[in-house]
Chains A and B, each alone.
Chain A
Amino acid sequence: MTKLDFDPLLDDLETRVLVCCGSGGVGKTTTAAALALRAAERGRRVVVLTIDPARRLAQSLGLRELDNHPREVVVEGFEPKGELFAMMLDMRRTFDDMVLTHAGRDRADQILSNPFYQTISSSFSGTQEYMAMEKLGQLVAQDEWDLIIVDTPPSRSALDFLDAPQRLSTVLDGRFIRMLSAPARASGRGLLKIVGTGFSLFTRAVSTIVGGQLLQDASTFVQAFDSMFGGFRERAQRTYELLRSPGTGFVVVAAAEPDALREASYFVERLSDEGMPLCGLVANRTHPVLAGDLPAAKALAAADDLDRSGEAPLAAAVLRLHADRVAVADREKRLLARFTRAHPGVSLVGVPALPADVHDLDGLREIGRRLAGE
């Protein structure tokens, strides 16, 4: 196993985009923010795109509300050699902006008020991922930063992030939705003879179940959207190409837990299948033993002795919490060793957990130091 060494990566001007990915709840946002802070302090002009950060973390970066534009992080006592910008993704607004860019004003209004659009833009699983990628594309196009660090949405499965744009455009471009947009034309061609019965049966069934209004809305929506499909697909394709370009690197973040590491494994394999550059794995929030010479069993035996005598409750407690820590550390080491055996080529860095939540620049700086292996 090689050690993932962040400083050379952050210092290399060829590194233009870093994508932090991993399953939900593993600390992607904090990792992204800490890397951005470190890169800025080492001289880069950085923007970090965060998604749903913890309130206090957002505040520490000077972000008070969803705001779709990067703001420079201006905090007293923070004087980086480079510059640091941060933003929080507003998924709905990014989507709305996309519609406004691609459709005329009238058509855009029609789309924005359609219930189908509202489902897609607010709750279709994958929209957030799609919009994160869209925003990344925009930031790259703006060409104002020499390093962009992206956090990815808190999906449970790390893979959603790669698949979502494709899924959304597949659904929007599907055969069924095409038929809805032009039922008359389609059946006129005789192309749908075979499925025609099923289709009309289905439309009838669906209208009875959910009401004809729904199909009407769907049809209006698709027709209005039709002219934009090409643009959407092209953009998704461009972003995908960007992710495969040499200046991009993926940082997979995982907790030392079976589920998170399983997701990380899938992700590592997937990136290699797609020819996307992997920087390495961040094993986040580990609990290395700090008093390594004292075996857990010996500590527990001594704690039992002390408890029996009733003296030195503090020492007994210290011994027990040490034994807990050894058990956790052993388990984490076992899980990480299993990952490395399966992926010997992936470099890795363990980031010891801070005992409390990170909510200021000092905390982020400390995480940055741990990420860099200091």
Chain B
Amino acid sequence: MTSWTEELTRARLHVVSGKGGTGKTTIAAALALALATGGRRVLLIEVEGRQGIAQLFDRAPLPYAEERIAAAPGGGEVHALAIDAEAALLEYLAMFYNLGFAGRTLRKMGAIEFATTLAPGLRDVLLTGKVKECVNRTGSDGRHLYDAVVLDAPPTGRVVKFLDVTKAMADLAKVGPIKGQSDGVVRLLHSGDTAVHLVALLEEMPVRETLDAVAELDGADLRPGAVLVNRVHPARLPAHSVPVAAEGRVEESRVRAGLTAAGLDLDEFTLEGLVDETVEHAIRVQSQQEAMELLSHSDLPTVEVPELTDGVDVAALYELAEVLVAAGVR
């Protein structure tokens, strides 16, 4: 198993997906901070209208505009953008057609909602189109405005459909400006500039979904990046004690002797409680190991992120970012 690779370092668009409930948004934010560490400028994008980034950074909902939301160690900056499909469509129409006043009317009539929720694939084309624009945008010096873009993408069940713009476009226009734009999106998403990372937990369902997603990405000729394993429970027991303890065998007399040596004189009830806690811990560590073993079939770089017992706040994001940097993320 390898950690962050050279190839991943070259990527400029980092797509982060994962099963619901795995901490996708948290990991995407920590990844943005990690990539910004050392003085780079990174854009963190969300596309599902959840305002997850704003909640995570404990601030007011993000408008449809890029805003600086955090500083990273070493002079880096993280900016954020919540892409809204309706706003993107209006922006798009305004760019190519002089709609002006009609835009609002269209929205009132439900035409915009119709186009962005029902028209097959149009919504995804608009969202990925805006992402591409951010990735490719250059400043006055001709250099890319953002060194890297992190996309908090839809969950694994939907991500390939979301990214597979080629497929969506087959159902849409064969000509016209949106065709031109989506060709560019296809080029970007299938190139070495893009890596699709998957957030997993060491439990059965998330691991299976991760493996399924890897196969699906491969099938669509999209590039799986790294597996980011979230909330890894620390293994406290000596490795050789784990399998024995997981079967319920903890040498109580040895534990008691150790506790006495440390000056702890515990009653029988507390000691039993400690033993039960130890057995549960061992079972959990063992099932984590099994899940890890299963994950290694993906043959992808894997980074483990520890469980934070105090929960996730802004400070914790920096802690997670440090873990990622230590694993070679840059």
Contact = CB atoms under 8 A, between A and B. Distances in A.
Given A309-B261, A317-B241, A118 B110 contact: no
A209 B258 contact: no
Contacts of A208: 97, 173, 176-177
Interface in B225-281: 234, 236-238, 241, 250-251, 254-255, 257-259, 261-264, 266-267, 269-281
B315 interface: no
Question: Chain B interface residue count: which class?
Answer: 35 or more
B313 to A, nearest CB: 9
Given A205-B97, A302-B264, A291 B271 contact: yes
A206 B105 CA distance: 15
B97 A177 contact: no
A290 B273 contact: yes
Interface stretch (A20-28, A96-104, A129-137): A20-28
B158 interface: yes
A62 B108 CA distance: 50
Nearest to B122: A210
B120 A118 contact: yes
B175 to A, nearest CB: 8
Contacts of B223: none
The winner among B22, B119, B121, B257 for most chain A CB atoms within 10 A is: B119
| Chain A at the B interface: SS class | helix
Question: Chain A interface residue count: which class?
Answer: 35 or more
B309 interface: yes
A314 B21 contact: no
Contact of B237 (A119, A211, A294, A321): A321
Interface in A115-133: 115-116, 118-120, 123-125
Nearest to A259: B55
Contacts of A177: 110, 114, 118
Interface string A294-334: 10001000110110010111111111111011011001000
Contacts of B6: none
B259 A315 contact: yes
B277 A321 contact: yes
Interface string B8-26: 0000000000011110000
B208 interface: yes
A290 B266 CA distance: 13
A291 B270 contact: yes
A174 interface: yes
B316 to A, nearest CB: 12
A317 B238 contact: yes
A190 B114 CA distance: 23
A47 B105 CA distance: 48
Contact of A258 (B204, B264, B272, B311): B311
B278 A321 contact: yes
Given A306-B261, A317-B241, A324-B236, A210 B109 contact: no
A356 B287 contact: yes
Contact of B99 (A205, A211, A311): A205
A309 B250 CA distance: 22
A289 interface: yes
B296 interface: no
Contacts of A174: 110, 113-114
B54 interface: no
A305 B263 contact: yes
A202 B102 CA distance: 8
B117 interface: yes
Interface stretch (A76-84, A191-199, A231-239): A191-199
A194 B97 CA distance: 20
A141 interface: no
Given A195-B105, A199-B111, A209-B173, A359 B204 contact: yes
B220 interface: no
B171 interface: yes
Interface string A138-169: 00000000000000001111000000000000
Contact of A210 (B173, B269, B274): B173
Given A55-B204, A290-B273, 14 more contacts: A25-B20, A154-B20, A171-B118, A202-B111, A209-B96, A211-B175, A291-B271, A294-B266, A306-B261, A312-B259, A313-B238, A316-B262, A327-B310, A355-B280
Top-8 shortest CB links A-B: A25-B21, A315-B258, A312-B258, A291-B273, A24-B20, A355-B283, A302-B262, A290-B273
